[in-house]
Amino acid sequence: MNSSKIIEDISIKKRFVLTLLFLFLTPNLYGYKPEDLGKLRVSKNCSKCDLSGANFYEADLQEVNLNGAILHHANLRRSNLSGADLSDAMLFRADLFGADLTNTNLEGAKFCNTILPLGSISVKDC
């Protein structure tokens, strides 16, 4: 093996190790904080919480306060959000298919590639 081949092998191994370290040591980009989820469960109030990527499939979220919450990539399919406060919430790539939004406050909420309750996709804030 010549020296250039050895250097190339070492370089490939370094890139591989660095990639693995990045994947395992970097926090999930769309991960919610467990304490925020706990706060919501206990008090039904999680104003300005980051719940990105949370799974609320068929959840009962009636009258919760999610004012200003970050709900990117959240699964809210078939959840009951009636009477909830989602004002100023950010719902980028969230899934609201089949969700009950009766009397939900959506004033100032941001939608980008968001699946709405009837299946259409909102891109109004992209």
53-104 residue pLDDT tens? 999 999 999 999 999 999 999 999 999 999 999 999 999 999 999 999 999 9
Partners of 60 in the β-ladder: 80
The model scores a pTM over 0.85 = no
Domain ranges of the chain: 28-126
Q: What is the overall mean pLDDT for the chain?
A: 85
CA distance 76 to 91: 10
Read out DSSP for 25-89? HSPPTTPPPHHHHHHHHHHSB-TT-B-TT-B-TT-B-TT-B-TT-B-TT-B-TT-B-TT-B-TT-
- What is the reported pLDDT for 7? 55
- What is the reported pLDDT for 32? 76
Partners of 70 in the β-ladder: 50, 90
Q: Which residue has the higher pLDDT, 33 or 80?
A: 80
Q: Which residue has the higher pLDDT, 81 or 30?
A: 81
The percentage of the chain sitting over the pLDDT mark of 70, rounded to a whole number, equals 75
CA distance 34 to 38: 6
Mean pLDDT confidence for 25-30: 47
- Cβ atoms of 126 and 105 within 8 Å: the answer is no
Calculate the CA dihedral of residues 113, 91, 51, 24 and round it to 10 degrees: 30
Q: Which residue has the higher pLDDT, 18 or 87?
A: 87
3-class SS of residue 119: coil
